[in-house]
Amino acid sequence: MTLLQGIAASSGIAIAKAYRLVEPDLSFTKTTIEDIDAEKAKFDAAIAQSIQELKEIQKVAKTELGADEAAIFDAHVLVLNDPELINPIKEKISSDQVNAEYALKETTDMFIAMFEGMDNEYMQERAADIRDVTKRVLSHLLGVKVVNPSEISEEVIIIAEDLTPSDTAQLNRKYVKAFATDIGGRTSHSAIMARSLEIPAIVGTQEATEEIQDNDMLIVDGLTGKLHINPTAELIAEYEKELEKYEAQKAEWAKLVDEKSITADGEQVELAANIGTPEDLEGVMNNGGEAVGLYRTEFLYMGRNQLPTEDEQFDAYKKVLEGMDGKPVVVRTLDIGGDKELPYLELPTEMNPFLGFRAIRLCLEETDIFRTQLRALLRASTYGNLKIMFPMIATLDEFRKAKAMLEEEKEKLIAEGEKVSDEIEVGIMVEIPSTAVQADQFAKEVDFFSIGTNDLIQYTMAADRMNERVSYLYQPYNPAILRLVKMVIDASHREGKWTGMCGEMAGDEIAIPLLLGLGLDEFSMSATSILQARAQIRGLKKSDMKELAEKALQMGTAEEVIQAVKEKVNL
Amino acid sequence: MSEKQFTVIDEAGIHARPASVLVSTANKFESDIFLVYKGKDVNLKSILGIMSLGIGSGEEFSVRAEGADAEKALEELEKTLQNEGLAN
């Protein structure tokens, strides 16, 4: 048996046989042809077969995925009917006496280059559609059997390098239990699709297609990103139990979607979700999220070769605000630099990226980038309950500068006749120890705090979280961390403000009792953790947790704290 | 020959979905139909042609039809542009 580690893209567990959805060999050579009419006829036939196939895929897509997802295939059919594409190919066959494969590829490559060269991201993505269509026609010309997932008639786990929209559209939910891909991240198309289909998925395994053969037995653990190939009978039995437990647990949690996040002694907190794109909202709704506690805007800037325009950003922010229908949405301004690179900004490499030129430090320097984002946010503010949060604030001066720019842009927009909400709360991330220690001073000027535990822990413990040799120092339950968290929460409450948390810790079952006891107001986590957290919180008494937290603050080590929590809440 | 001027009102400009509807409508007619934009003529029966222009919001273009059913075609296309909220 082999184990591959990938990125957990959609939670759940699946145990089934592998089905390789791998690109067929579409290579060909350029040849000179004698019978031009026969070659043209061959081409016409391939087009007709492709259109027929697309129409069938579209029918499946409509029922399985909905009209919106299926609409893309309308465009594909039109491309295959496009005289500006078809005629030049036929002309090329006759004038150059070349084979249809070559004429097709030459012509579509020209269109692909043209769309990729356009300075509009939307148009650049259309190049992928033309590629998709070209592959389909080419496979018919070459007589290569394209793997056809609609033929699947038993439960399988799909293995692919990556999944295109037309691949996913053909997947039959009844039989496809999960998928695993070589490339991609949590926001790639296949990951988003898996979450909307609610099947487990692992992306970015690097070598799934290399290591896995058709009919290999697989276990996909979408909670941890582990992909087991030909596991032992014991492991299968273990996971079968795990799966049963997971399903039963999920059914239990699902009953809490519309319930309040309220403790056994009647204290209410807010359970929010961390999101990266407007597409993540569906998961927030399905899991009963009461707010968006962290909207990471980096994804708008990543995976492209230029900055997003004000309008592009406005559209995304508006979509999220409208989607949440008046519920709070905390948007974090650009947190880039350091380990998260944007190649097109051409920032110099740094010795200590985590201690370097990143986030608000970069934004206060590159003010054009920052002001564009602020304007887009302000313009979107009238579409919902917007809260703006600055990341990596270390000094009051940084906060004041950032806030002043926000005020300036607001005045400019109003002067331009734009509507801007007057209710926007402006807060900061607390992830640098200096800010936590001085929280009492910050609390007088900010509207809220959100504690970013991943960074707060690494800066407090002076341990790079990417360095495995010092990973033992990543200690969320260390009393030193808990004391900092307490300082921040207390400081905010003294000024009548609120504190949230948007790091991994906020959704952790050991941390939740402690945070509840420390008085945290908002817990923001991945959407799929919300129902579990709600179930836990509803079983706890805040008064008991307060006692527990007081004791934890006086303990010597993280181990003692973990022990105390486990004893108190039966974990 | 019939020709008529339009202004794009869709915020996203002429993007894939309305372009698809437009091309499908044009395909119903015998006439040669062109979209004229910045002095360029593009076959309105070509989705790639229309999309390659990347016409943005607020920009002007005209539609020209030549053939037996030219007038009917133009009428129908105008209706489509308006129904799709694409241009007026």
**A403-446: per-residue pLDDT in tens?**
999 999 999 999 999 999 999 999 999 999 999 999 999 999 99
- Asked if the C-beta of B50 comes within 8 angstroms of chain A's C-beta atoms, the answer is no
Mark yes or no for CB contact A78/B24 under 8 Å. Answer: yes
Identify which of B24, B27, B48 has the shortest CB distance to residue A111: B48
In angstroms, rounded to a whole number, what is the distance separating the alpha carbons of residues B45 and B27? 6
From A76, A140, A189, A228, the catalytic residue: A189
Extract the tokens encoding A275. 């999101």
Using the structure block, give the residue that is written with the tokens 């395994």. A205
Q: Does the distance separating the beta carbons of B15 and A82 come in below 8 Å? A: no
Domains of chain A, each with CATH number or no CATH: 2-22+149-249 (3.50.30.10), 36-142 (1.10.274.10), 259-569 (3.20.20.60)
pLDDT band at A152 (very low <50, low <70, confident <90, very high): confident
Mean pLDDT of A5-12: 87
* Strand partners of residue A4: A227
Mean of pLDDT over chain A = 90
Cβ-based contacts of B24 with chain A (< 8 Å): 78
CA separation for the pair A77, A35 (Å, rounded): 28
State the complex-level ipTM: 0.84
Q: Considering Cα of A456, then A457, then A458, then A462, what sign does the dihedral take? A: positive
Tell me: the pLDDT tens digits for A195-218?
A: 767 789 999 899 999 999 989 999
Ramachandran angles phi, psi of A547, nearest 5°: -60, -45
In the block, which residue shows the tokens 């413990």?
A: A461
- Contact yes or no for A120 and B54 at CB 8 A: yes
Could you read off the pLDDT of A72-94 as tens digits, one per residue?
788 888 899 898 899 999 999 99
Which residues constitute the domain of residue B69? Answer: 2-83
Q: What is the pLDDT of residue A359?
A: 94
Q: Which of A76, A228, A363, A502 is catalytic?
A: A502
Q: Which residues of A touch B27 (CB under 8 A)?
A: 81
For A449-501, what is each residue's pLDDT tens digit? 999 998 999 999 999 877 778 888 989 999 999 999 999 999 999 999 999 99
Could you report the per-residue pLDDT of A369-379, keeping only the tens digit for each? 999 999 999 99
- Which regions of A74-194 does DSSP assign to beta strands (E)? 156-160, 176-181
Q: Of A36-50, A297-311, A550-564, which range is least confident?
A: A297-311
On whether the CB atoms of residues A222 and A178 are closer than 8 A, the answer is yes
- Round to whole Å and give the CA distance between B47 and B21: 10
For residue B25, is it within any domain? yes
Alpha-carbon distance of B44 to A425, in angstroms, equals: 49
Exposure string for A27-39, b = 16+ CB within 10 A, e = fewer: ebeeeebeeeeeb
Is residue B88 assigned to a domain? no
Q: CA B33, CA B43: separation in Å to the nearest integer?
A: 6
**Tokens matching residue A340:** 């998260």
Query: Any chain A CB within 8 A of the CB of B24?
Result: yes
Over its C-alpha atoms, chain A yields an Rg (Å, rounded) of 27
Please give the Cα distance from A117 to A114 (Å, whole number).
Answer: 5
Residue in B2, B15, B20, B57 annotated catalytic: B15
Chain A, nearest residue to B18 by Cα: A75
Which domain CATH number covers B76? 3.30.1340.10
**Hey, how many other C-beta atoms are within 10 angstroms of the C-beta on A368?**
9
Whether residue B28 lies inside any domain: the answer is: yes
- Please answer yes or no on whether B48 and A71 come within 8 Å at the CB atom: no
Number of domains in chain B: 1
| Cα A86 from Cα A135, distance rounded (Å) | 15
Task: Tell me the chain B residues in contact with residue A84 when contact means C-beta distances shorter than 8 Å.
Answer: 43, 46, 48-49
Put simply, the answer to whether A122 touches B15 (Cβ < 8 Å) is yes
Task: Count residue pairs from A and B with Cβ separation < 8 A.
Answer: 49
**A70 has which bridge partners?**
none
Q: Which of B41, B47, B84 is the best residue to mutate to test the A interface, defined by the most A CB atoms within 10 Å of its own CB?
A: B47
Question: How far is CA A122 from each of CA A169, A308, A461, B39, rounded to the nearest angstrom?
Answer: 21, 12, 44, 24
Nearest to A83 among B16, B43, B51 (CB): B43
Nearest CA in chain A to B49: A84
Q: Work out the mean pLDDT of chain B and round it to a whole number.
A: 87
User: A398 vs B53, which has greater pLDDT?
Assistant: A398
| Contact in structure between B55 and B8 (CB atoms under 8 Å) | yes
* Nearest-neighbour CA in chain B from A382: distance (Å): 18
Please provide the DSSP assignment of A292-322 as one string.
EEEEETHHHHSSSSSPPPHHHHHHHHHHHHH
- A84: nearest CB among B17, B19, B46: B46
Instruction: Name the token pair of B80.
Output: 């489509």
Residue that wins the pLDDT comparison between A421 and A171: A421
Chain A nearest CA to B47, separation (Å): 6
> From CA A9, how far away is CA A270, in angstroms rounded?
25
Is A14:A157 a contact under the CB 8 Å cutoff? yes
The answer to which of A118-127, A341-350, A408-417, A468-477 has the lowest mean pLDDT is A118-127
**Helix boundaries (H) for A220-280:** 233-254
**Residue A493 contacts residue A512 (beta carbons within 8 Å):** no
pLDDT band at A188, cuts 50/70/90?
A: low
Neighboring chain A residues of B12 at a CB cutoff of 8 Å: 122
pLDDT at A69: 66
Q: How far is B54 from chain A (nearest CA, A)?
A: 7
Mean pLDDT, to the nearest integer, of A51-55? 89
B contacts of A81 (beta carbons < 8 Å): 27
Higher per-residue confidence, B49 vs A192: B49
pLDDT band at A151; cut points 50, 70, 90: low
B15: annotated active-site residue: yes
- Work out the average pLDDT over A251-264: 94
